[in-house]
Chains A and B, each alone.
Chain A
């Protein structure tokens, strides 16, 4: 019986190794050398769902993906924004090299539609990357999205509440995003095929360097 078990274990180990060897999908560069260095395959793996959990709006959570979006859209792949919280500002996207002809914005009125539209676009092989904003997402739904991304060989970026970082999720890559004086910090909570727990600092925009302290024009603090 023990021989049998040893054999089973050996088979399992073999399967695991085989999975690791072939499991790494081709990746597309994130555009940030620091981040590429820690991700398996040197970038965002194709056919995966990446969860992004920014601590606040405006810390560079979208700028992080702009090099990827620019690269994909110039390579004739489509990029979709599903249920974005604000208007994706065309002049800014255009200036940063995202081809607007390849960009699609999809507005939804409820979570069910958001997840549905996310899945449809991920599954379609014309899309290279799909960004979706969804506050409540169940494990089962993330798994569905993961399968859709695999069949469409696209990357799904799911923006979630920072509180979601506390609960586990089946997404292949989970990143918590914070900001400090120097710029954006990416904390890798989970990464299939690589070490987790690392943090990578990147500075997404040039404002960080021209930062001036103090001014006569102080905007008012809230009266609340």
Chain B
């Protein structure tokens, strides 16, 4: 087994927001009576705010500090979304736990078994490069570590050792000189080790285990055994859900749709990763915007052709959002894809230009419909009816048409016939053509149609309405 650990030191902050706005911000958590900073952004770091640090101290150092309350649920949700995303790189994904302990807040992690994926991705280097590009695009701060055990990989990630360690012996040698602070031990245990003069991991591992157990408890011994591979470390692995349902909770309100695009972009990229893993596409998906008091706003987005490209999905979402009025600021997002369709059928044909054209058309149509509304993008269909206004109707662009023989007709038809008004008498070019029809459906007409030519040499299609005392109406143009 070769484990790749993705360690997310900034998860408490990044689970709550998809983009850093440059304002000094910290995530805090209450422990007992006091409030502690558990995570801070770069702007806060520049003001010398550290994690962990007492919040009162942090405020004293930087008075414009923005504070967010830690939300373990948001972190868990983010980690689950990432697990689904990571499934594209490995079929064995282990989701780490979100610890409520202060010093473990920045140790959220995800593991991928990569030993079996190496050939598929063309070697470790290519796989790591692919993972790094993808996860950076999602907007997470991360550290990677590759080791033979779960805890070993996590330790290498935390220590920032960017070398793949493949055997237990190599792991022992590699971590021997690291200070014990990198281990996932309680702060108290670290202090005790320091007073005992045990500064690096190598020294700790050389001590007899039963003596260690007596002094520091069995928990530490178990951990060291799992770290070095002396004891197995079974953990539940991630199982992909039958349908996708991800959520993103913010700690604050997002008021405009532009700000929503950042979390949306991350969520759609994560969805894309999951779809790649499942070798599937979505024919439609649902976005639910949650508000503090009002009922949530749901947005259903359908696609003409099932899709998984995050860029295409995002353009559609953007168009839909531009047309949607959200009742209140958004405090949470849900992305649901009920149905997944296999994309194997598409891939076999990927290079045929006809298919690419169809896809391009489908995407353009989706964009048009998203922005202009379904009723404003349509095809035309002939109907066998003598009355011009009933001789056509809107049709879906892909609907089948049947051929029909009509007499000579003008290219423009007026939406509504209007009384004919001309500055000077027109010339008669052709006519009359009697159209008498519709007595059976109550919309009967009795008209004589003429082709008229105006002074400007424009040709009009006009009729005399015999049901209205032979009044003249304009009904079209021979454009």
Contact = CB atoms under 8 A, between A and B. Distances in A.
Interface of A: 55-63, 66, 78, 84-96, 99-101, 103-108, 113, 116-117, 120-121, 123-127, 178-181, 205-207, 210-215, 217-224
A56 B422 CA distance: 13
A86 B380 contact: no
A179 B457 contact: yes
A224 to B, nearest CB: 7
Contacts of A88: 380, 411-413
A187 to B, nearest CB: 14
B379 A117 contact: no
B404 interface: yes
Nearest to A99: B401
A90 B380 contact: yes
Contact of A212 (B361, B399, B426, B428): B428
A104 B395 CA distance: 9
B423 A222 contact: yes
A124 B363 CA distance: 9
Most B CB atoms within 10 A — which of A90, A108, A116, A127?
A90
A219 B364 contact: no
Contact of B379 (A101, A223, A224): A101
Interface string B103-145: 0000000000000000000000000000000000000000000
Interface residues of B, number: 71
Contacts of B412: 57-58, 62, 84-89
4 nearest A-B residue pairs (beta carbon):
A179-B457, A58-B458, A58-B477, A126-B361
B429 A104 contact: no
B60 to A, nearest CB: 51
B477 A180 contact: no
User: Helix, strand, loop or mixed for chain B's interface?
Assistant: mixed
A56 B429 contact: no
A210 B430 CA distance: 8
Contacts of A121: 364, 368
Contact of B477 (A57, A117, A210, A218): A57
Interface of B: 356-358, 360-361, 363-365, 367-368, 371-372, 376-382, 388, 391-392, 394-395, 397-401, 403-406, 408-415, 420-432, 450-454, 456-460, 462, 464, 472, 476-479
A106 B409 CA distance: 22
Contact of B459 (A66, A181, A207, A222): A207
A104 B397 contact: yes
B372 A108 contact: yes
Contacts of A120: 364, 367-368
Nearest to A61: B479
A102 B1 CA distance: 56
Contacts of B361: 78, 124, 126-127
Given A125-B357, A219-B422, A95 B406 contact: yes
Contact of A103 (B364, B380, B420, B428): B380
Contact of B392 (A55, A89, A101, A213): A89
B441 to A, nearest CB: 19
Contacts of A116: 371
B392 to A, nearest CB: 4
A221 B479 contact: no
Contacts of B459: 58-60, 205, 207
Nearest to A223: B421
Given A92-B406, A94-B401, A100-B395, 13 more contacts: A60-B479, A86-B412, A91-B392, A105-B380, A107-B372, A124-B363, A126-B360, A127-B364, A207-B429, A212-B429, A214-B428, A215-B428, A223-B421
B413 A100 contact: no
B478 A221 contact: no
